[in-house]
Amino acid sequence: MNASKTLGEIAQRIGGEVEGDVHAVVGGVASLESAGKTQLSYFASPRYRKALLGTRALAVLARKDAPPVEGMNWIRVPNPALAFAQVAAWFHPRAPRPPGTDASARIHPSAQVHPSACIMANVFIDKGAVIGAHSVLFPGVFIGEGVVLGESCWVYPNVVLMEGVVVGHRVTLHAGVVLGADGFGYAFDAEQKAHVKIPQVGIVRIEDDVEVGAGTCIDRATTGETVIGRGTKIDNLVQIGHNVHIGPLGLICGQVGIAGSVKVGAGVVLAGQVGIADHLTIGNRVMVSAQTGIGRDVEDGAQVSGYSGFRHVDWLKFMLSAHKLPELLKEISRLKRRLEELEKKEDP
C-alpha cells in the first residue's frame, strides 16, 4: 500500500475539486459504511444517502450536484465510482513480481519466454508457446502447445490454456480459468445408438484488456475461433460455448451460460444466471436482467427480462400471445365499464 496522500494531491491526480481541507491526509479508501476517520469513500447514488449521513469517512468523492453534508470534506468529480477506482488503484497498486523462472517450472526448449516474465513454481509450458514481456504465471499454470500469451498478463494459479489459445495484452485470468477445452459438439448415430464426438479443431482468442473470473470456462471453436472482445470483463463461474463471439467492452456476471455460436454485440451487459440459447444474435448495448432466458435474437439497445419454469410447449404458446395482453386488458376495462352502464339502466 502506498503512503498517505492529501486531498489536494488526490484531487489533482483525478481532476477533481476539493471542498474542505485540501491538506487533510488520507490513509486509505473504504465504503461509506466501513470508512474510518482517515479514509476516503464515494457517494454515487441517492439511495446511499443514509450511509453518507452516517459515514465516518474523512472525505467523500461526489458529483457537483450532490447535496452538502455539514462538516464533510468533498472531492467533486464527474463520475465518483470511476474516481474511486482510480484512487483505490493508486493506494493499492498491483505488487510487482520479479522476473525469472522457478527451478520447478517445466518449459519446452522450443517455447519462447520473455526474460522479463515471471514464471512461478510448477508451471508447465509446452512446445511452441510464447510468453510475452512482463507477464506473470502463478504456480500450477498449464500452457499448451502453440499458446500465445501477450504482454503484461497475469495468470493466476491453476489456470489452463489448452493448445492454440491466443491471449492479447494486459489480460487477467483468475484462478481455475480454463480456456480452450473442447466445445460441446456431438452427432447422434441412430444405428449405433451413440453420440459421436465432433472434433473441436478451432481455437479461443482473447483480445486485449480482458479480465476473466475464477472458474470460468471458455470453449474452443469447432472450427475457426471463439472470441472475447477487447475490454470485456467476465465474472466467476461463467460458461461460454464454442464459436461464441463476444464484442468489446461487455460485462458478463456470475453463472451466465452462453451456448454455441452466439454473437454478442458491443457493450452488452448480462446479469447473473442469464442463459442464452445457441446460434442467436444479441445486439449492441443490450442489457439483460438476472435469470433471464433468451431464446430469440435481441435487437440493439434492448433491455430484456423474464424467467419461466413452464413446460416448453406452454411457454411457446404464452410468448406468442403475451404481446396481445395490453390490448386485451384495455378491452376488458372497456367491456367492464359498458356492463356497469347497462346494469345501471336496468336498475328500477
Active site residue 312: no
Nearest C-alpha neighbor of 246 from the set 215, 221, 214: 221
Identify the active-site residue in 114, 242, 312, 323: 242
Handedness of CA 187, 291, 301, 204 (dihedral sign): negative
Q: How many residues does the chain have?
A: 348
Asked if 103 and 119 touch (Cβ cutoff 8 Å), the reply is no
Cα pseudo-dihedral 98, 94, 130, 261, rounded to 10: 160
Q: In the beta sheet, which residues pair with residue 320?
A: none
Classify residue 287 as exposed, middle or buried by CB count within 10 Å of its CB (0-12, 13-18, 19+): middle
C-alpha to C-alpha distance for 210 and 177, rounded to whole angstroms: 13
Asked if 72 and 54 touch (Cβ cutoff 8 Å), the reply is no
At 12, which helix (H) or strand (E)? helix 7-14
Catalytic residues, which ones? 242
